[in-house]
Structure 1
Amino acid sequence: MYGVDVVYTPYDPSINDDPYPVYARLRREAPIYHNPDLGFWALSRHADVSAAFTDSARYSSDHGPMLDPGAWGPHARTFLSFVAMDPPEHTRMRAIVSRAFTPRRVAALEPMIRQIARGYIEQGLEKGTFDFARDLSAKLPFDVISELMGVPPSDRAEIRRKSDTLVRYDPQGQMADAGLKSILSFGDYYASIIADRRTTPHDDLISALVANGGLTDEEIVAFIFLLIGAGSETTTHLLSAAWYWAWRNPDQRAAAFGGAIMPWVEESLRYDTPAHGLARRLTEPTELHGTLVPKDAKIWLLIGAANRDESVFPDPDVYDLSRDTSRAISFGVGRHYCLGGPLARLEARVTLEELTKSVAPGYEIHEEGIKRTAHGNVRGMVRLPTTVRAT
């Protein structure tokens, strides 16, 4: 067994604050790591994680992508839609959703995204000091998705509160009890929107899903859970990471404010990946790095570690907007490549463009006030106090 002295859990705050030294040890000393207490096996090298993503027959998604015990299991599709399915079910449902969630529909959102971004940036500038994570990066993607689906503003605060259950770690696995019941109880609300769109179509995503046919109301509700929960979380943490790491690296901040917006987005995705890991179920006994891993083992694919693999990215712990990020796997690889990736990139690009237009590059971040998530799949900031001034 590799690296018996390496200890890794994504729920240890001391590791979660800066997991990259541990990831480096995992890649070097324990490329297949077993945590018997939490019941998972972790792959951390870029080659291994990429290969697992593309081998859906061996690495099944049918128990969902979440590490938490309450979210792991055959019930995961109830609130995570096709990301908790394998072919042919995954192929069928993703194809139907893709016909509604088209690149054209995503591209058409840009003016609306820009307007929302400007509004939150103006509020931040008026305050001078505000919480970038809570008051901008958490609100913007949620508003965008709500607009996309036609959810009225008056309902969004309650929906955001309910959806937080999807990205909150509970080590006792009670999500399957209280938390999951809370989520499912809100399905009635989404079902009422679907029923309304069947009789009175709007120009929104739910109407498009209904018009395309082929999905039951329950399947549409599951997709809405996925989009509102996991869909907004990635952009939230991407924006905060870009803002934070540009501040920590003044030379790169100068490049970002000088117009290197997409390199800023892509390097932030690689360097501080929002979706740090995804779980898979092993469908047959498999030897990995000399260790026989049993059938039905929970395999933890460490995207955050793979994106810092020195065999792929030279000087991986350096935040460098000029680097080649083409091999980063921030949104996965293969048939489960994140359908919302283009929307996340669009939201990040537009928001960062508006920030560089309106905010002077000499902004400050108050590190003592930063608070990070404690969730296994997602790593990011839920508090990011910053002081800004207008250009």
Structure 2
Amino acid sequence: MTVSEILLDPYDYDFHEDPYPYYRRLRDEAPLYRNPELGFWALSRHRDVLTGFRNSTTLSNKFGVSLDPASRGPHASKTMSFLAMDDPAHLRLRTLVSKGFTPRRIRELEPRVTEIALAHLDTMLAKAADGETVDYVDEFAGKLPMDVISELMGVPDADRAQVRAWADGVMHRDEGVTDVPPAAVEASINLIVYYQNMVAERRSTPTDDLTSALLEAEIDGDRLTDDEILGFMFLMVIAGNETTTKLLANAAFWGHRNPDQLRPVYDDLSRVPLWVEETLRYDTSSQILARTVVGELTLYDTVIPDGDVLLLLPGSAHRDERVFDDPDDYVIGREIGSKLMSFGSGAHFCLGAHLARMEARVALAELFTRIRDYEVDEANAVRVHSSNVRGFAHLPIHVTVR
């Protein structure tokens, strides 16, 4: 097969099942890849992806970071907030949001995250204790992250299941769908209307949640508009909810596949963060991020014209043998450090990275406090089908409770 016959199609179900052989060929044979049918370029080597993340002038975010046509364009910031902006607009909005979304607020949230995790775990393990197989995503990994975001924002308990259902609807794609389907548009509108009402309530009656903190955030008289607050809330749903759900399920799946690596974690829960980091490297939730070339960019003796889409592939970068020893081995405790790009790098480094890591650490540690072992029913596991996110829609497990 010639280089020109390598195919990277982010919508292909076979690619979703296992993208890593495709990535290896790209790194070796086409480190700058071109897909003329879908109209994008792609970078797959670690060095190139890292350089791409850090080049926020030539590689613009202003048309969004997804390949999906409905998510791309000058309107992208309405739902993706500052992730779909360049400086100085990006820096202004991010700085204002950071006044409310502080590390301290995240630290103070941990006891509540633990309580939410325990509530869902209790329900799941009660079913598991009767010997029935439980769906780890439906019962736990798919519920916790959105409930944590709702807790942070101040969504009342009674509304959280509905908000979670809308959030799921925003992300769902059926096979062969390469754009945002009508059901997802409807779910998005429902969420935005709900959040609009919440913002209006907080304007008249402030509380101590993040929604009120965003309304109060101010730098030299500059404040966030309602639309900017809504954009950030929506970004949390898209970027903060789904990726953490996928991280939790990917950790469970690869832990199951590598019992020799997982056994020491049962005995020493201080190893849970190492388990999280290796999962982020080995099979990161966020696999593909789009940028738009501004001016022109020359890579590998090739000129990429102004306005073209360039995909950065952190999922591939993390398996680059030029950077990691035995990258296709799942090794909990390996040296990763700053080589990790699951949360990006540079100006757009994920503002929620510390929240995602805290959630994953709490969730997996509480799970392992209560179980002795688990088995994944791989035959009935269902992968999510997305052009940029990798993980499971369903992960049935059989659990041995302590």
Q: Pick the TM interval, shorter chain.
A: over 0.9
1:292-348 CA deviation, whole Å, 9 max, x = no partner?
211111111101001111111110000001211111111000110001110000000
Query: How far apart, CA to CA, are the structure 2 residues paired with 1:177 and 1:390?
Result: 42
User: TM-score when scaled to structure 1?
Assistant: 0.96
Q: Which runs of 5+ in 1 are unaligned?
A: none
Within 5 Å, give how 1:1-391 maps onto structure 2: 3-128=3-128, 129-169=133-173, 175=180, 179-180=184-185, 182-213=187-218, 214-259=223-268, 260-326=271-337, 327-360=339-372, 362-391=373-402
Query: How far apart, CA to CA, are the structure 2 residues paired with 1:130 and 1:136?
Result: 10
Q: Give how far 1:44 is off.
A: 0.6
Q: Which amino acid aligns with 2:141?
A: S
State the percentage of identical aligned residues. Answer: 46
Q: Give how far 1:225 is off.
A: 0.6
Tell me the number of residue pairs that the alignment of Structure 1 and Structure 2 aligns. 389
Q: Which amino acid aligns with 2:346?
A: G
1:128-180 CA deviation, whole Å, 9 max, x = no partner?
12100121001001111101101112222332233235434476665387744
1:187-215 CA deviation, whole Å, 9 max, x = no partner?
22211111111121111000100111410
Of residues 105-114 and 171-180 in structure 1, the stretch that sits farther from structure 2 once superposed is 171-180
Q: Which amino acid aligns with 2:239?
A: A
Distance 1:173 1:76, change over 3 A: farther
Q: Which amino acid aligns with 1:167?
A: M
Tell me, yes or no, if the aligned pair for 1:276 and 1:379 is still in contact at 8 Å. Answer: yes
1:263-293 CA deviation, whole Å, 9 max, x = no partner?
1010000001000111000002222112221
Distance 1:39 1:176, change over 3 A: farther
Q: Give how far 1:92 is off.
A: 0.2
Distance 1:91 1:301, change over 3 A: same
Q: Which amino acid aligns with 2:44?
A: S
Q: Which amino acid aligns with 1:329?
A: M
1:40-60 CA deviation, whole Å, 9 max, x = no partner?
111111111111111111000
Tell me, yes or no, if the aligned pair for 2:169 and 2:183 is still in contact at 8 Å. Answer: no
Tell me, yes or no, if the aligned pair for 1:282 and 1:295 is still in contact at 8 Å. Answer: yes
Distance 1:138 1:172, change over 3 A: closer
Distance 1:243 1:26, change over 3 A: same
TM-align CA RMSD: 1.6
Q: Which amino acid aligns with 2:149?
A: I
1:7-52 CA deviation, whole Å, 9 max, x = no partner?
1112111111111011011011011111122111111111111111
Query: How far apart, CA to CA, are the structure 1 residues paired with 2:30 and 2:180?
Result: 30
Q: Which runs of 5+ in 2 are unaligned?
A: none
Query: How far apart, CA to CA, are the structure 2 residues paired with 1:40 and 1:297?
Result: 7
SS in 2 for 1:70: helix
Distance 1:251 1:353, change over 3 A: same
1:238-280 CA deviation, whole Å, 9 max, x = no partner?
1111111111111111122222111101000000100011100
Tell me, yes or no, if the aligned pair for 1:61 and 1:85 is still in contact at 8 Å. Answer: yes
SS in 1 for 2:316: helix
Query: How far apart, CA to CA, are the structure 1 residues paired with 2:206 and 2:179?
Result: 38
Q: Which amino acid aligns with 1:229?
A: I
User: TM-score when scaled to structure 2?
Assistant: 0.93
SS in 2 for 1:310: coil
SS in 2 for 1:109: helix
Tell me, yes or no, if the aligned pair for 2:59 and 2:294 is still in contact at 8 Å. Answer: yes
Query: How far apart, CA to CA, are the structure 2 residues paired with 1:20 and 1:64?
Result: 25
Query: How far apart, CA to CA, are the structure 2 residues paired with 1:364 and 1:181?
Result: 37
Q: Which amino acid aligns with 1:20?
A: Y
Q: Which amino acid aligns with 2:138?
A: R
SS in 2 for 1:323: coil
Of residues 8-17 and 152-161 in structure 1, the stretch that sits farther from structure 2 once superposed is 152-161
Q: Give how far 1:389 is off.
A: 2.0
Tell me, yes or no, if the aligned pair for 2:81 and 2:228 is still in contact at 8 Å. Answer: yes
Query: How far apart, CA to CA, are the structure 1 residues paired with 2:364 and 2:209?
Result: 25
1:67-107 CA deviation, whole Å, 9 max, x = no partner?
11111111111111010000000000000111110000001
Q: Give how far 1:182 is off.
A: 4.7
Tell me, yes or no, if the aligned pair for 1:255 and 1:321 is still in contact at 8 Å. Answer: no
SS in 2 for 1:382: strand
Tell me, yes or no, if the aligned pair for 2:167 and 2:187 is still in contact at 8 Å. Answer: no
